[in-house]
Structure 1
Amino acid sequence: MKLLLTGHGYKYAVEQIMLMLFPEERPEYVEGTAELTNTAAAVSLSRGNTYDTATTRLYYGGAVYTGIARRRRCEGSPLEVDRVLQRLIKTAFFRAAVRATGKKPVWGALTGIRPGKIATALLEEGRTEKAVLKTLSTEYYLAPDRAALCLDTARAGLQAAQTLGERDIALYIGIPFCPTRCHYCSFVSHSVEKSMALIPPFLEALHREIDADALSVRKLDLNVVSVYIGGGTPTTLSAEQLESLLKHLAQAFNLSRLREFTVEAGRPDTITPEKLSALKTGGVGRVSVNPQSLCDDVLRAIGRRHTAQEAVSAMHLAREIGFDCVNMDLIAGLPGDTVETFRRSLDTVLSLRPENVTVHTLSLKKGARITLEQTPLPSGDEVGAMLDYAAEKLRAGGYGPYYLYRQKFTSGGFENVGWSLPGFDSLYNILIMEELRTVIALGGGGVTKLVAPKIGRIERIFNAKYPHEYIKGIDGLIAKKSGIETFYHQFIDR
């Protein structure tokens, strides 16, 4: 979509709302109105003595549609002014898009990865739940069910926050290897069939990073309350490698205050009795079995080398080994899936009664095979029907939403939701989505997020994505992560 910005430089705000409303479009900036042809938008902002006004003229389907948003001139801090003006711009664009398409998205004019944080902030201001729902519906144009979803997850986040001490933290360990690459995935991971030789040196480097970070955690007297091992597919590692990693982790860190230990067992074709036993013996209490679909045709379409029955068997195996908290993932919008086959997948998952069910919406990643090959996909309306069915059946089955996030390039601009049975909310998922406390990331592709909750400050430290870069750069990474101690001394212990 061609974009002309006048009177402001809020490119990111414009791109956010454009990508949400028109996920198939990509921004292309132009210099004058002569270049505005179908499909295009002129987005202007004016600041008068009395009012701030945003206007969008959307060129769409051979016609021009106008959206206007206005409010009294904001005279707050620069940060507050930026926030207000960007919201005006998004609202004006949204109004023009609704007029042009005749469709009102369920997420209204609300953009961003963490929609629940707005509800959280309103509750913390002392608003009633009824007032929060009204604000989300009237000021952000959310559909009633999405407003309720924000409120539910905000409530779960606030409840979790009350259980956390100031020095509580979580650990994330990234294992960037997979048996093969799924067609919807652009995640930087290496298939084992191509990079088996990288696993031993990767684990050696990871052990070094564990030792260095554990030393900082001990110096700062931090409490590890949650550990999450993800990827990639951690169960790409052998049972012996998993056992060694878990032992090293327990020796390096004081895990006496650990409340939750999760491993993404992930793909059913990597799950064996030996690996699950190693995880259980190593202290893991929660595992994920992630079929993404329980339709064999869909599994073949996304490049999975396992059947639906193998996923069901992996779930039964997890129970036999003794795991009493299991998560299962499904993705709405996969190639070859229909509303009916998705419903059958969800019904099968519910019959297995996992404690957590995470329902994702397919996100069209730039480097994914289905994007590059322009694979036909379910429509936005079909994806919406899948998600509506999931929400209805999960609530009826006793599950409640406890964490929520959104991604760019999702069909229909929809969301990802974690559902749980009472008492089984994943602390890590809430902590990372609500940004409640520090998460120290180790391994490939991880991002350490240092959080000073009282002052709202967040800093990040990025690990290398590719295994060979991680191995080669481990000395520099360890040196860079001395910033963990610096952050705590500057912003928490002052």
Structure 2
Amino acid sequence: MESTLLVSLNDPSFEYDVHALVKAFYPDRNVKVLSGEREENFFAEIEIGEGGARICLEGREHKWQAKEEEKRSVPETRGDFKNGFKAFLYEVLSRETGRKLPWGNLTGIRPTKIAYGMLEQGKNRQEIMDYLEDKHFVSGEKAALSIDIAEREREILSKILCGDKGDSQGYSRDFSLGYSLYVGIPFCPTTCLYCSFTSYPIGGYRKIVDRYVDCLLKELEYVARKYQGKRLDCVYIGGGTPTTLEAEQLDRLLSGIKHFFDFSQVKEFTVEAGRADSITKEKLSVLKEKGVDRISVNPQTMKQETLDRIGRKASVEQVEAAFFLARQMGFDNINMDLILGLPGELAQDVQHTIDRVAELGPDSLTVHSLAVKRASKLNQWIQENGISMLKNTDETMEIAAKGARRLHMEPYYLYRQKNISGNFENVGYARPGKYGLYNILIMEEKQTIIACGAGSISKLVLPDGRIERVSNVKDVTLYIEKIDEMIQRKEAF
């Protein structure tokens, strides 16, 4: 990787957006934004004032004067000022590099929220297209995708809450009356090359797994008491890899959840079965017996060489066997996760994966663009092998989209991540009626999500749309030691 690009910025409140946009235009460079520090070799110097901004980029000066309605001195228009500045910075970087980004100057992880919000305001499709293209420089293709998904999300939520009449006037308010539950299992068979999630190789933690489940059940029992009388809509058990638990541990956990919580109105009960090397008939039997109606079997790729490279020990044959076993046991809503841009993979490898997955016939696909996380082993791999070995392109994204269409799936949720390969996105595809409701709720932030377990983050959606968060400690041992403190944090939540 080439040398670091240093950016001088006089206002730290703009650091996230500046870093995200510069990194998007220069994905093969490290980017560091400095405030109040002096360096000789700044790539760019950015000064932001009350009425505009100045950018000096490699010796060339660019100026922006905010419009009257964008003045940042007025609290109500500070968002407009930031959007105006981001448009200015985007245009400067675009001219400098000769590039356009598919998502324009949008730096957040939820680009569909803009389209969703505008639909709720009564805006038509063309008005939203114009806004995304003109104000945020989003490509026509991505703007259309964003609107398609937002329209589908509204339709899905409306039908679930209001029946087939689709009376959309009250469903947002109705979802605020309920909540969903996330349960985190932070163990995995091994740690994958690209992973930065809270996960621990199960081999080194088996002795404390039972204690972890005990503490998790204690936290869950408290949550059930606190939210007694409030409608529970979705339960999602993720990780990590939940099926790293032994069958009896899974049984104890799920039995506790079913005992503590009222499932009479639960619309979706998902468990990320995850890696094929942790899926057994006994564990699937527990899931089936406890009423789990949606699972994931996640290959990420069907190329064995890549699986070995990224540290996933399950073979392609194990993935197929786990999928067929789940089908035989009556699971009729199975998701599969794929990652595009994995080390060394080319378009033909993605096509191979899509063809093998299509033969299995899952009910939904979640297609991720590889995100390079600071805390992952992938960072070191890039230092040794070069970022050019990570290739995600329009071609590979289209291969995945065509594969989803072959399986009669349609896109229903979308999100982005920092440092995502090719500046693309993660898209969830599903057959009609097999959508992941929890995924929509958490992406559009329509409902309070109470999260239990090490490293989990609860989100309280307030009536005015504001969101408050409370997090649990990430370290498993600390979580066990401080379980009473984790519960106390939720008492004030």
**1:173 equivalenced with 2:158 (yes/no):** no
Question: Per the alignment, in what secondary structure is the counterpart of residue 366 of structure 1?
Answer: coil
Which residue is equivalent to 1:111? 107
For residue 160 of structure 1, report the CA deviation from its aligned partner.
Answer: 4.2
Is the Cα–Cα contact under 8 Å of residues 185 and 454 in structure 2 kept in the other structure?
yes
Instruction: Name 1:13's counterpart in structure 2.
Output: 17
- Point out the more displaced range, 73-82 or 471-480: 73-82
Task: Establish whether residue 199 from structure 1 lines up as the match of residue 209 from structure 2.
Answer: yes
Does 1:460 find its partner at 2:469?
yes
**1:367 correspondence with 2:371:** no
Shift of 1:155: 1.6
Larger deviation, residues 97-106 vs 80-89 = 80-89
The 1-side partners of 2:65 and 2:405 are apart by 36
Alignment of 1:437-448 (within 5 A): 437-448=447-458
What is the CA–CA distance in structure 2 between the aligned matches of 1:451 and 1:232, rounded to whole Å? 25
**1:26 maps to which of 22, 31, 46:** 31
What are the equivalent positions in structure 2 for 1:30-49 lying under 5 Å apart? 31=36, 35-37=40-42, 40-47=43-50
Question: Secondary structure at 2:414's aligned position in 1?
Answer: strand
> Compared with structure 1, are the counterparts of its residues 78 and 399 closer, same or farther at alpha carbon in structure 2 (3 Å cutoff)?
farther
The 1-side partners of 2:416 and 2:49 are apart by: 30
Instruction: Find out whether 1:399 has 2:409 as its counterpart.
Output: yes
Question: CA offsets per residue over residues 109-145 of structure 1, 9 Å max, x none?
Answer: 1110111111112112211012111211121111112
Give, in angstroms, the shift of residue 167 of structure 1: 1.8
CA distance in 1 between counterparts of 2:351 and 2:64 reads 40
Which amino acid letter does the alignment assign opposite residue 433 of structure 2? G
Change (3 A) 1:8 1:467: closer
2:313 alignment partner AA: R
Residue correspondence of structure 1 range 395-434 to structure 2 within 5 A: 395-434=405-444
| Contact 1:115 1:150 (8 Å CA) reproduced | yes
Cα pair distance change 1:345/1:79, threshold 3 Å: farther
Post-superposition Cα deviations, 1:35-74, rounded to whole Å, max 9, x if no partner, equal: 344xx12223344xxxx43443332xxx747475753443
| CA distance 1:463–1:182, change in 2 (3 Å) | same
Listed as ranges, the matches of 1:26-425 within 5 Å are 26-29=31-34, 31=36, 35-37=40-42, 40-47=43-50, 52-59=51-58, 64=60, 66=62, 68=64, 70-74=66-70, 78-162=74-158, 163=161, 165=174, 166-218=176-228, 221-374=229-382, 375-377=385-387, 382-425=392-435
1:114·1:433 contact (CA, 8 Å) conserved in 2?
yes
Distance in 1 separating the partners of 2:196 and 2:104? 28
**Residue 140 of structure 2 aligns to which amino acid in structure 1?**
P
For residues 249-282 of structure 1, the C-alpha deviation after alignment (integer angstroms, 9 at most, x for no partner) is 0000011111100000000110111111110111
Name which of structure 1's ranges 332-341 and 369-378 shifts more when overlaid on structure 2.
369-378
| Structure 1 residue runs without a partner (length 5+) | 485-494
1:234-262 deviations in Å (ceiling 9; x for gaps): 00001111111111100000111111000
Give the share of equivalent positions with the same residue, in percent: 37
Q: Answer yes or no: is the 8 Å Cα contact 1:288–1:326 preserved in 2.
A: yes
**Cα distance, 1:390 vs structure 2:** 1.3
Superposed CA deviations along residues 199-255 of structure 1, whole A, max 9, x for unmatched, are 01000101111111110011xx21111000000000000111111111110000011
Which moved further from structure 2: 322-331 or 413-422? 413-422
CA–CA distance in structure 2, aligned partners of residues 110 and 351 of structure 1: 36
Take 2:424 and 2:61, find their aligned partners in 1: how far apart are those partners? 24
Report SS of the residue matched to 2:70.
Answer: coil
When residues 306 and 104 of structure 1 are mapped into structure 2, their CA distance, relative to the original with a 3 A threshold, is same
Conserved 8 A contact 1:361-1:410 = yes
Query: What amino acid does structure 2 have at the position aligned with 1:248?
Result: G
The 10-residue stretch of structure 1 (275-284 or 2-11) with the greater mean CA deviation from structure 2: 2-11
Offset of 1:393 from its aligned partner?
3.1
Match of 2:491 in 1: 482
TM-score normalized by the length of structure 1: 0.90
> How far apart, CA to CA, are the structure 2 residues paired with 1:84 and 1:111?
15
3-state SS of 2:298 partner:
strand
User: Residues 364, 34 of structure 1: CA spacing in aligned structure 2 closer, same or farther, 3 A cutoff?
Assistant: closer
Q: Which residue number in structure 1 is paired with residue 166 of structure 2?
A: none
How far has the Cα of 1:18 moved from its partner?
2.2
TM-score, normalised by the number of residues in structure 2: 0.90
Farther-moved stretch of structure 1 (249-258 vs 396-405)? 396-405
Name the CA shift for 1:21/1:65 in 2 (closer, same or farther; >3 Å). farther
- In 2, Cα distance between equivalents of 1:262 and 1:69: 50
261-270 vs 402-411, which moves further: 402-411
Q: 1: CA distance between counterparts of 2:252 and 2:432?
A: 34
Quote the residue 2:167 is aligned against: none
Aligned equivalents of 2:392 and 2:434: distance in 1? 30
Question: What runs of 5+ residues in structure 2 fail to find an aligned partner?
Answer: 162-170
Match of 2:165 in 1: none
- Secondary structure in structure 2 of the residue aligned to 1:342: helix
Instruction: After TM superposition, give the deviation of residue 432 of structure 1 in Å.
Output: 0.5
CA–CA separation in structure 1 for the residues paired with 2:441 and 2:296: 18
AA matched with 1:364:
V
RMSD: 2.2
Q: Secondary structure at the match of 1:324?
A: coil
